[in-house]
Amino acid sequence: MARRDRDRDKQFFVETDPKNARQDRDTNFYVSADILSMLYTVLVTITALDNKYKLSHKVPGWKFALLNVAKRCHDATMPGEENLLLRKLVVRSLVWGKLSMRNYVINKSGIPRCFGDIMPATRGKRKERSPIESEKDPHKEEASNAQKSSRSESEKKAPKLNQEESEKGRAKRYERVSNNTNNTSHPRLGVKAREKQGMYNKNAQKGEPDPTAIGGSFEGTPLDELEKVMKKSEVEFKKAKNGNVLMWIRNKDFRAFERASQAAKSMGTHVIALHVISPGDYKSHGRGARRIDFMMRNVKELRSELKEKNIPLVVRTITPRKTVPKEIISFCDEFNITKIYANIEYEVDELRRDAVVVHLARESGKAAFFVHDCIIVPPGMLLTKEGKPYSVYGPWFKKWVETVNENDNLLETSEDPEANDESVRKDKSLHSLFEEEIPSEVEGYECADAEKMAQLWPAGYHSARESLGRFLEGKKGKEADDIFQSSKVKEKKAAVENYPEGRNRPDVDGTSRLSPYLAAGVISPREVVQKARKMNKGSISQGGKENGFSNWISEVAWRDFYAHVIVAWPRVVMGRAYNLAMESVCWEYEEDQVKAWKEGNTGYPIVDAAMRQMRETGFMHNRCRMITAMFLVKDLMVDWKNEVGEAYFMQHLMDADFASNNGGWQWSASTGTDPQPYFRIFNPFSQSEKSAQSYSDPDGAYIKRWVPELKSLSGKALHDPFHKLDKASFKKLGYPEPIVDHNEARKRALRRFKTPGEK
Ligand SMILES: Cc1cc2nc3c(=O)[nH]c(=O)nc-3n(C[C@H](O)[C@H](O)[C@H](O)COP(=O)(O)OP(=O)(O)OC[C@H]3O[C@@H](n4cnc5c(N)ncnc54)[C@H](O)[C@@H]3O)c2cc1C
C-alpha cells in the first residue's frame, strides 16, 4: 500500500520473510507507545516461555490471545519509526519460529486473521472434489479409514515432547503415525490434514524443528536424526556377528552395494539383494503406474545381471507400510543376515523409516548402514557463512563447484559388486531365492501403455548409457528419436554442443533425456558428470562463460539442490510452500479448466502441445514444464500443491521424482527457495514464439507435432490462432478457444500474489 493511502486504509501486514517486510515499509500500522511496550513484553515473555516449555505445541490458544492484543493495537496510532520497530519485533519472533504463526494480517476491517490457523488453505470457488480425488481408487477406502483412525488416535495420544525420549518410543511412534497409507507428502490431502496425519508432525520427535520455521537448517531434520542413530550404532556395526549381508535395493546407484559386497567378502559370507514393493509408500508419494512399471522393469534387468554374479535378487511386497522395518528384520532373521546396507532416500517418511530400521537391527544383534548415494554432494555439506543451508541456487552452485573440485571422491563411481561364491547356489536356505518369480506389475499400479513406454524408455543401465552416449558423443542409439524431434533440422554434432540453445527448444532432441534413469537410480549422477567433465577437459564450470558441457553439468546439479532443499526444509515434502506467505494466495478451482489443462485443450497451443506430449510419452521438455506449470498456477490460479499440478506430473512423468518435481513447481509458482519472482508471468502465446533466451518453437514444429488440429497453420497464427485468425477460419480448425484471457488472468495473478489473502 502506498504511503499516501495511509490515512484512508489502515492496514498492517507482517511478512514472514524479513526481506519482504523491509520492502513493505509503506504498509502501516498505528500503535501507541504504551501498547507497543506491552506487546513487546508479551512477545518476549511468550517467546521465552515457549522456548523453555514448548508452549506453542501444547497451548495453541495463546496465539489467539496475541492476535487480540494486536487487534487492539490497531486503533491506536504512533509515528512510523516505532511502528517499524514493532514490525521488526514481530517479524523477528516469527522468524525464530517461536510463535508458530506463519503470518498474520489485520485487514481493513481490523479483524485479525492468522493464516493457516483461521483461513482455509484453499479458498475460492470449488464446485466439487477434484477428479483425481473422486476417481475410483483401490486404496481410497483404506486411506480414508486410516485417516479417521489416525486423526482420532493422534488426538488421543498426542506424543509429548520429552527430552529423554527413547529410540524405542520413536520406533513405536513411527508405527503409529505411519499406520496411515495416506501420509505426509500425499498431495491429495489438504495442508492441515497432511500436517495432522503426517509423520512430519511437530509433536512427533524431540528436537524436531517446527515445520513452519522459516530459517531452514540441517540440524534436527529427519536426515540428522538418521545420521545420529547410525553414529550411535557404529560400535555394533563393527561388532556384528558374521552372517550374510543384505543389500536393500532402492534402485539408486550402487555405492551401498559396493560396501555390502566388501562386507560379505570380509566375513566370507554372501550378499542377498532385496527390493521392497511398498504400495503404501507409492500412494503417499503419488507415484504413477508408468514410474512403477519402469521400476519393475529395471529390477528385472538388474536381477539377470546379478544372477550372473551368483547374487540372488528377491522382491517382497510389504503392506501396510508401517511394517516395512519389522519385515526387513524378519527377512534378515530368515536368511541369517547380520548386516544391512542401503542408499539414503531423502524424503521425510523414508528417513524416518530407515532410522527405525537402524534401531530394530541394533535390538536384534544386527547392524544397518545407509549411504549417501543418489546425489553428488550430500546435504549438509554446503553451508553459507552463517552455517545455514543455501536457499538460492546461484551461490549454492558456486559452492557446489568449489566443493566438487576440492573433493575428488565426490565424483568417484562405485565398483560393481563382486560375485558371490558358487557355494551360495547350494546353500540350503539361499538356493531357492534364485528361482523366485519377480512380479511384473504391482496391483493397483497396472500401466495401461506399458508396451509403448517400454519402447520409449527401455530399462536398464545399458539403455541409460546409450542415452548418455547419444547426448555427449552423438552416438546413435535404438531409441525412438523422432518422437522427441519435431523440427526437421537435425543436428549432426552431439546434442551437448548445442545444449545452451537445445535446452530451450522443445522442438529439437537437444537434451539428454536421462532424467528417468537418474530419477530411478539406473545410472549414477557421478558417472554422467564425470564423463561430461572429462570431455570438457577436466572442467566443471567455465566461470560464467559456459559451454554445452558446463551448462549441462549445472543442470544436473539442480537435482542435488532440490534434494538439499527437501532435507533442510522438510515442510515442502508435506505439501507446504517454501515461502509460507504465499500459502495464503486465494486460489480458484474450475473443474472444466483443470480438465482442459490436463488434456491439452486450453486453446494455448504451446501448453496443449506440452500436456499432450506428457500424456503420450511420459516426458515433457523442461521449458514446457515451466510454461504449463505457470499457466496452471498464474493463469488458472489453481493451487498446484492441491491434487492437480504437482500430483498430475507425478502421475504421468517417467522421471517423476519428488524433490525435482516439487522444486520445479515451487519455482514456477513463485513459492520456492529460488523462485521465479511473482510478477514475472510467462505469456503462453509468446513463449512458444520467442522466449527470453531464444526461440522455443520458432517454426511451430513442436506444436504441429502434438496439436495436429493446427497443422495447416504457420507464422503467428500457429502460436495464437484464436487472436490471429478470423472467426470462421478459427472455427474450421476444431481447436478450442482460450479458456482464459491471459491479460485478465495476469492482472488477477499479480494482484493476488502481491497481497496474499486478497481476492
Ligand atoms: C514443474 C516442473 C516439474 C519437474 N519435475 C521433474 C521431475 O519429476 N523429475 C525430474 O527429474 N525433473 C523434473 N523437472 C526438471 C526438468 O524439467 C527435468 O529434469 C528435465 O526436463 C529432464 O530432461 P533431460 O533429462 O533431457 O534434462 P537435461 O537438460 O539433459 O538435464 C540433465 C539432467 O539434469 C537434471 N535436471 C535438469 N534440469 C533440472 C531441474 N530444473 N531440476 C532438477 N533436475 C534437473 C535431470 O536429472 C536431467 O536428466 C521438473 C521441472 C519443472 C519446471
Q: Of 268, 272, 258, 263, nearest to 331 (Cα)? A: 272
Three-state secondary-structure class, residue 521: coil
- Of 400, 665, 667, 706, which is the active-site residue? 665
Answer yes or no: is 558 a known binding residue: yes
Number of domains the chain is built from: 1
Residue 415 has pLDDT above 50, yes or no: yes
Q: Tell me what pLDDT residue 689 has.
A: 75
Distance 433 CA to ligand 1 centre (A): 37
* Ligand 1 mean position, distance from CA 560 (Å): 11
**Pocket probe mutation, ligand 1, options 514, 515, 572, max atoms within 8 Å of Cβ:** 515
355 within domain boundaries: no
Long-range contacts of 534-538 (CB under 8 A, 24+ apart): 535/472, 535/473, 535/496
Which residue has the CA at smallest separation from atom 47 of ligand 1? 515
Give 155's pLDDT tier (boundaries 50, 70, 90): very low
Q: Is 557 annotated as a binding residue?
A: yes
Measuring CA to CA, which residue among 189, 214, 198, 221 is closest to residue 102?
214
Q: Which three cell numbers stand for residue 214?
A: 522459516
Closest ligand 1 atom to residue 516 Cα is 11
Q: How far is the CA of 334 from the centre of ligand 1 (A)?
A: 41
Distance CA 137, CA 141 (A): 8
Best mutation site among 660, 668, 687 for ligand 1, i.e. most ligand atoms within 8 A of its Cβ?
A: 660
Please say if 298 is a catalytic residue: no
Catalytic, 555? Answer yes
Going from the Cα of 659 to the center of ligand 1, the distance in angstroms, rounded, reads: 10
Determine the atom of ligand 1 nearest the C-alpha atom of 621: 21
Query: Do residues 564 and 379 make contact, with C-beta atoms less than 8 angstroms apart?
Result: yes
CA distance 190 to 641: 9
The reply to whether 667 belongs to the active site is: no
Active site residue 457: no
- In the predicted model, is pLDDT for residue 187 greater than 60? no
Q: Phi then psi for 12, rounded to 5 degrees?
A: -120, 125
Assess if residue 13 is contained within a domain: yes
- Choice from 622, 625, 670 to test ligand 1 binding pocket (greatest atom count within 8 A of CB): 622
Q: 659 labelled as ligand-binding?
A: no
Instruction: Could you list the beta-strand ranges (E) of 557-634.
Output: none
60 falls within a domain: yes
Q: Name the band, by pLDDT with cuts 50, 70 and 90, for residue 612.
A: very high
pLDDT at 360: 94
> Residues 227-256: what's their mean pLDDT?
82
Q: How far apart are CA 104 and CA 388, in angstroms?
A: 26
Q: Tell me, yes or no, whether 233 lies in a domain.
A: no
* Res. 414 pLDDT band, cuts 50 70 90: confident
Compute the distance from residue 622 Cα to the ligand 1 centre, in Å. 6
> Which residue's CA is the closest to the ligand 1 atom numbered 12?
660
pLDDT tens, position by position, 93-110? 444 443 433 333 333 333
Q: Which residue in this structure is represented by grid cell 539428454? A: 512
Model pLDDT for residues 331-343, shown as the tens digit of each residue = 999 999 999 999 9
What angle (nearest 5°) sits at the alpha carbon of residue 459, between those of residues 455 and 462? 110
- Asked whether the CA dihedral 435, 436, 442, 446 is positive or negative, the reply is positive
Look over the chain and give the mean of its residue pLDDT values, rounded to a whole number: 76
Q: Hey, how many other C-beta atoms are within 10 angstroms of the C-beta on 342? A: 25
N-terminal to C-terminal alpha carbon distance within the chain: 15
Kindly give the distance from the C-alpha atom of residue 661 to the centroid of ligand 1, in angstroms, as a whole number.
Answer: 8
- Shortest-distance Cα residue to atom 37 of ligand 1: 555
For ligand 1, atom 32: residue with the closest CA = 556
How many Å lie between the centroid of ligand 1 and the Cα of residue 3?
43
Query: Does any domain span residue 68?
Result: yes
Q: Of residues 753 and 170, which shows the higher confidence score?
A: 753
In a domain, 25, yes or no: yes
Lowest-confidence pick of 114-123, 413-422, 517-526, 633-642: 114-123
pLDDT in tens, 634-660: 999 999 886 689 999 999 999 999 999
C-alpha 516 to ligand 1 mean position (Å)? 9
Q: What is the predicted pLDDT for the residue at 54?
A: 54
Give how far Cα 12 sits from Cα of 67, 84, 113, Å: 12, 11, 11
Ligand 1 centre from 515 Cα, in Å?
Answer: 6
**Cβ count within 10 A of residue 286:** 22
184 labelled binding-site residue: no
Note the pLDDT of residue 699: 82
Distance 696 CA to ligand 1 centre (A): 17
For 268-284, the DSSP string reads T--EEEEEEE-HHHHHH
Ligand 1 atom closest to the Cα of residue 499 is: 29
Residue nearest to atom 20 of ligand 1 (CA): 622
Report the nearest-CA residue for atom 21 of ligand 1: 622
| CA nearest ligand 1 atom 48, residue | 515
At 41, is the pLDDT very low, low, confident or very high (cuts 50, 70, 90)? low
pLDDT of residue 680: 82
Q: Which three cell numbers stand for residue 234?
A: 557404529
C-alpha 289/C-alpha 448 separation (Å) is 8
The phi, psi pair for 585, rounded to 5°, reads -60, 140
511 is in an annotated binding site: yes
Out of 396, 569, 587, 667, the active site residue is 587
Helix intervals (H) in 187-344: 191-197, 222-232, 234-239, 255-267, 279-284, 289-307, 324-334
Testing ligand 1's pocket by substitution, the residue of 347, 552, 655, 658 carrying the most ligand atoms inside 8 A of its CB is 655
Instruction: Please say whether the beta carbons of 248 and 276 come within 8 A.
Output: yes
Out of 363, 402, 473, 555, which one is annotated catalytic?
555
State percent of the chain over pLDDT 90.
46
Q: Is 248 annotated as a binding residue?
A: no
- Top pLDDT among 626 and 35 is at 626
Q: Please identify, by atom number, the ligand 1 atom nearest to the C-alpha of residue 525.
A: 47
Mean pLDDT highest for which of 81-90, 93-102, 484-493? Answer: 484-493
**Position 534 in a domain:** no
User: pLDDT (tens digit, 9 = 90+) per residue, 525-559?
Assistant: 999 999 999 999 999 987 777 899 999 999 999 99
How many C-beta atoms surround the C-beta of residue 294 within 10 A? 28
Residue 575, pLDDT score: 77
In degrees rounded to 5, what are phi and psi of residue 249? -80, 125
What's the pLDDT at 26? 36
Question: What CA–CA distance (Å, rounded) separates 243 from 12?
Answer: 66
User: Is 71 within a domain?
Assistant: yes
Q: Decide: 423 and 415 in contact? Cβ < 8 Å.
A: no
| 248 among known catalytic residues | no
Q: Which residues line ligand 1 (CB under 6 A)?
A: 503, 511-515, 518-519, 555-556, 558-559, 562, 622, 625-626, 629, 649, 653, 655-657, 660-661, 663-665, 668
Q: What is the pLDDT of residue 625?
A: 97
d(CA 688, CA 308) in angstroms, rounded, equals 50
Tell how far the Cα of 626 is from the centroid of ligand 1, in angstroms: 11
| Residue 556 alpha carbon, nearest atom of ligand 1 | 34
Q: Cell 480425488 belongs to which residue? A: 133
Structure ipTM:
0.99
- pLDDT of 340: 94
**What is the DSSP secondary structure assignment for residue 7, as one 8-state letter?**
T
Closest atom of ligand 1 relative to the 620 alpha carbon: 21
* Residue 610, marked binder: no
At what angle are helices 605-617 and 622-630 packed, to 10 degrees?
120
Q: CB of 623 within 8 A of CB of 504?
A: yes
* Alpha-carbon Rg for the chain in angstroms: 27
Domain range enclosing 51: 3-114
656 marked as binding residue: yes
Burial of 301 (0-12, 13-18, 19+ CB in 10 A): middle
Question: What secondary structure, in 3-state letters, does 404-434 show?
Answer: HHHCHHHHCCCCCCCCCCHHHHCCCCCHHHH
- pLDDT score for 489: 72
Is 622 designated active site? yes
Of 88-97, 640-649, 677-686, least confident by mean pLDDT is 88-97
Taking CA atoms only, the protein residue closest to ligand 1 atom 2 is 664
Beta-ladder partners of 39? none
User: Which residue type sits at 120?
Assistant: P
Q: How far is CA 236 from CA 202, 230, 338, 376, 559, in A?
A: 31, 10, 11, 28, 34
Nine-digit cell at 179? 499406520
Catalytically annotated residue among 457, 640, 667, 706: 640
Is 156's pLDDT higher than 60?
A: no
What does each C-alpha distance from 308 to 248, 420, 421, 432 come to in angstroms? Answer: 19, 10, 11, 16
pLDDT (0 to 100) of residue 353: 92
